[in-house]
Amino acid sequence: MDSVHGWLPKGAGLCSSPAVPRGVPASAPDAKSGYGFPRAARLTRPSEFTRVFKQGHRSHTRYFILVATSGGVRARLGLAVGRKASPRAVARNRIKRIVRDAFRRTPLPSMDFVVVARSGCGRVDSEALRKDLLVALEALKQ
């Protein structure tokens, strides 16, 4: 037998250096492209989420609950997308991508925002979710 597995050609799988470093998806944009979501723009600790939920003002729409409170020097985002929004992880990740993208493209005041996805959110097209989120943001600005 020429290879360890028999069905692999000789030398397959023995590459010493991968083309992409481990832990980095091959399709990931580089940090210089501007498509990333920096840590400084995220709510990361449970205490930050708790503070926003306790002190924040709420805006309800069909697909989202948006809670906001005055924050630090820049707008920061926290996401709460549970299985009620969609039982499928692929759909929940899609919702998060749409919200992050809308957050990046919209000029916002220096506040901490938490977006909670409501049930049925995963079955809606991307444009409807964006519009619904912008309605919630406009309601909070007033």
Is residue 32 assigned to a domain?
no
**What are the residues facing 113 on neighbouring strands?**
68, 77
Is residue 79 assigned to a domain?
yes
Give the residue from 37, 53, 36, 55 showing the smallest Cα distance to 115: 53
Is residue 106 assigned to a domain?
yes
Is residue 30 assigned to a domain?
no
Find the domain containing 134 and state its range: 38-141
pTM of the model: 0.74
pLDDT at 27: 47
Q: Residue 85 is part of a domain; what is its CATH number?
A: 3.30.230.10
What is the number of structural domains in the chain?
A: 1
Is residue 76 assigned to a domain?
yes
Is residue 4 assigned to a domain?
no
- pLDDT at residue 28 is higher than 90: no
pLDDT at 76: 94
Q: Each residue of 39-60: pLDDT tens digit?
A: 889 999 999 999 999 999 999 9
Is residue 83 assigned to a domain?
yes
Is residue 66 assigned to a domain?
yes
pLDDT at 77: 95
